[in-house]
Structure 1
Amino acid sequence: MKKKIIVSILLIVLSIGIGYQFLDLDIVNKVTAEDLRLKGKTIILDPGHGGMDQGTKGKKQGTIEKDLNLTVAKNIKKELEERTDAKVILTRDTDTSVLPELNQKKELQARADMVKKESADIYVSIHHDAYEDPNVEGITTHYTAFRSDDKKLAKLVQKAIFDQKIDSRDRGVKDSDYLVLRENTVPAILIELGFTSNESDEVRMNSKEFQDKAKKGIADGIIDFLSRK
């Protein structure tokens, strides 16, 4: 009798274990299937500034925006390539501008034009802001009201960033008239990941923890948006 009880208990435990294995496998398969929906999609990541155009400069640590933009964009590219089959393209992968001549309007237009050249599905520009008031801080995602999908993308990415419990103020999404957004032909956003003019923001944005949460959140938002298309 005791043997039968022991055998029965072992069978129950074994069944539960197998059930959990299948449950875990099912979850993994769902995540994989979701991410693989991006197969055939092309994502443009635009690290703002570059070359002679350094962007903003931090007062506390002397952070150069163009360098930080590139670091963050490369992190996001790696995250997306590890998790999806999407093609991810950087407008620049070194400390250079897209065009050889120093003409800001033409430079920005060239970055927006890469969407057409690469038949991209989405455009995401990475920046770090600055303001005359050093107390202003936080993360903002900009979009243009010309396309309804832009606001949807902006909201998804902004939410996904703060779902990471990132240490920053949520400044929300904002309708803005940036050339790289206005002249684009696909859903496009510009993310300002903090203010180099704010000492606390500058320290945060240079930390590995902040950068890891930023790349994960931005990638999550992009995947969520493109998986719905």
Structure 2
Amino acid sequence: MSQPAPRRRAPRNSLSADLIVDRALGLLDAKGPGAFSMRALAEDLGVGTMALYTYFRGKDEIFRAARDRVLAAYRPPSTSGNWDEQLRAVCLAMYELFIGRPAVLHLLAQGHAEGDFADAATVTMERILLLLRQSGLGREEAARAAGTLLRYTIGSALREVRDCGMPGQIETMRVRMASLSPALHPTVTDLAPELATVLSDGVGQYTFGLDLILAGLQGLAAHAAD
């Protein structure tokens, strides 16, 4: 019988707040906040659980530090082009941030978004609203458009992260579509290859939907100008 691999231990005197946050982000990306514990983090670092409390008072404080580490590095991109081109770049960058660091997305989804996150989110909201107002949209239209873009972006990122964590679910959907009766579901079975492609193309599906939203906003802006 093979012996279990020895637990990795942190080199003597190497433990630091930065190292703890690094490992916490790794655990959160892999398993999400629900499976996170101080004990699991300590085991990953190869230290006793109490050693973590030298740097942080508990997991909520680690969550905030992990979240702020990622968000502090994010800035809405400053791009050239028309307002809709710039808005597309901002939303796409936000989507890529979330799917690239599922830890932050998990924290937001589970309500760990209070406090300083409001400041980080306001920077992006300011950029989005400014571009929408520059398009000529009215006050309420700009506010509703911003809400639509944010909900669509965060929701799409959540779906992508979930699907990546459960690849079997995508295969199950493919098998189910293949088993459908062409007589009862002619359109679904006819488009089954295309639907299967959509299931595994998260970024492509997101940008397709984003472009549809932006096309609608272009129409609103043109109507406002008239």
Structure richer in strand, relative to its length: 1
Structure richer in helix, relative to its length: 2
TM-score (norm 2): 0.27
Q: Relative CO higher for 1 or 2, CA cutoff 8 Å, sep ≥ 6?
A: 1
TM-score (norm 1): 0.27
